[in-house]
Structure 1
Amino acid sequence: MSKSVTAQPASALGRFWHKWRFHLNILLLLVPLGFMPKYFADASLFRGDSGLGEREIGTVQVGPWSLQLAEMRNEAPRPDGPAGFMKSFNAALCDTCIDQVKAGYLRIGKPRSLRAAGVIFFGTPYRMGATLPIPQKTKADAELWITLEGWDGSMHQASIPLSQASPATIAWLAQRGAKP
């Protein structure tokens, strides 16, 4: 008659793993589920299902054209390595001006010329995005300038106060010691 002997791991760690491996594997499945709501919220935001961004700024009239403007995230500017601090904005052109607008630009402070118009909006006219650098010396009463260039060569500009466009950026500037 033969005896059956179950081999037990020799080390304490081996015994722990042998006893708890099932429970640890269940944890490996359950922990990512805790991050799923944020993942789905971000996916909805990037797809455009939840609007242009976390904070809608509203309609901005730029000459004969208009666009919807929104902050991508309702938070302070994020550091981006040597580029400094960056803030993302999204925009959507009005239905009647989609065929007339060639390019859109965004900048803090009034542009001196079209060559210094700021960062260009990228993407489709229905959902354009721009990542704007926030200069170190930005004042709390600064303005966000929007420049639209038409296919006919015309250029129109409009500005909105930065406090209206991004209150989180104004709070961040105040924390860093910006003066009005």
Structure 2
Amino acid sequence: MTTYYMLVLLCALAGFAALAISMEKYSRALTGRMLGATRRRYIYWLGWGFLIVALGVGVAGWHWNIGPVLLLGSLTAAGTLLVFIMPWWPLQPKHAARKEKPVSPFPDMRLAKPVRGLLVLSLIALPIWVGFNAWKMSEQAVLREDAIHGQIGPWTFVLAEENQDGPEFVAGHTPIKQFHLRFCEACDSEIRAAYLKIRKPRSLRAAGLAFQGARWTREVAIYIPPAARLADQIWLTVESKSGEVYQQAFDIQRLSPATARFIQEQP
């Protein structure tokens, strides 16, 4: 996953740098000369292109539910880095600027219609693509043969891991595993929240991370503790709107064989 981290960070840094260069205030300081309005406009759209690529890489690496969050972290890091670099940038040694012949301004400073249309189409298509993949991923998870069908309290449910791979590492060395949960359509209106965690929770406050999604398919990414054992099991806690709390345990080997192997391999 380090490759994804670096790609997202580099694309975010390039995007912010391009946006800064496209601004008249910073153009001369960063490039050593004043760029024309047309060139700065192209650089402006190039910057947004880099940011869109960063989002795409984040979604490809961590899916749509975690990718955008980590992208925000990369944008923060890239922005902070630029804040510290830009004040010192003009102090670097400069080469003598060569004389350029004056260029007559273009009558139309806007991008060509085909280029603008392509950019607008890209901005519209990306959210649609992300949403479609999120919907497809949710549908496939709970419809797989390895999904667990059961009943907790008065409600029937289907629980499945998002994919059959092992835990993913985020923020360096933090292993997480994603799961999807679907209640029957009539059950959703009676449920306040559902939680998932490794080890039996001692109270509702310690029930784990809440599934996101108010209706139909919900999802959550849970943390795999370093000292986790297969005997700890994965615990589902469901709270009704009237206050009743129900719990059910699942064998880790049954729910996620890859996670079970990961736990067994830990020292």
In the alignment, does 2:142 pair up with 1:87?
A: no
In the alignment, does 2:266 pair up with 1:176?
A: yes
Q: Secondary structure at the match of 1:74?
A: coil
Matched letter for residue 147 of structure 1:
T
Matched letter for residue 136 of structure 2:
G
| Long gaps (5+) in structure 2 | 1-59, 64-129
Paired residues for 1:30-69 under 5 Å? 46-48=134-136, 50-52=139-141, 56-69=146-159
Q: Secondary structure at the match of 1:103?
A: strand
Q: Secondary structure at the match of 2:213?
A: strand
TM-score norm. by structure 2 comes to 0.47
Larger helix percent: 2
Matched letter for residue 140 of structure 2:
G
Distance (whole Å) between structure 2 residues aligned to residue 143 and residue 78 of structure 1? 19
Deviations 1:79-122 (A, max 9, x none): 11267210000111112211100100001111100000100000
Percent identical among aligned pairs is 28
Distance (whole Å) between structure 2 residues aligned to residue 54 and residue 131 of structure 1? 19
Distance (whole Å) between structure 1 residues aligned to residue 207 and residue 226 of structure 2? 19
The count of aligned residue pairs is 137
Match of 2:252 in 1: 162
Distance (whole Å) between structure 2 residues aligned to residue 66 and residue 111 of structure 1? 21
Q: Secondary structure at the match of 1:96?
A: coil
Q: Secondary structure at the match of 1:99?
A: helix
TM-score norm. by structure 1 comes to 0.68
**What root-mean-square deviation, in Å, do the aligned CA atoms of Structure 1 and Structure 2 show?**
2.2
| Long gaps (5+) in structure 1 | 1-38
Distance (whole Å) between structure 2 residues aligned to residue 83 and residue 151 of structure 1? 37
Distance (whole Å) between structure 1 residues aligned to residue 173 and residue 187 of structure 2? 33
CA offset at residue 53 of structure 1?
A: 5.4
CA offset at residue 126 of structure 1?
A: 1.2
| Bigger RCO of structures 1 and 2 (CA < 8 A, at least 6 apart) | 1
Matched letter for residue 148 of structure 1:
V
Larger strand percent: 1
Matched letter for residue 100 of structure 1:
E
* Moved segments of 4+, more than 6 Å: none
* Aligned 8 A contact 1:104 1:148 in 2: yes
Distance (whole Å) between structure 1 residues aligned to residue 134 and residue 249 of structure 2? 26
Q: Secondary structure at the match of 2:228?
A: coil
The verdict on how the C-alpha distance between 1:118 and 1:80 changes in structure 2, with shifts beyond 3 A counting, is same
Match of 1:7 in 2: none
* Aligned 8 A contact 1:68 1:92 in 2: yes
Distance (whole Å) between structure 1 residues aligned to residue 210 and residue 257 of structure 2? 22
Match of 2:17 in 1: none
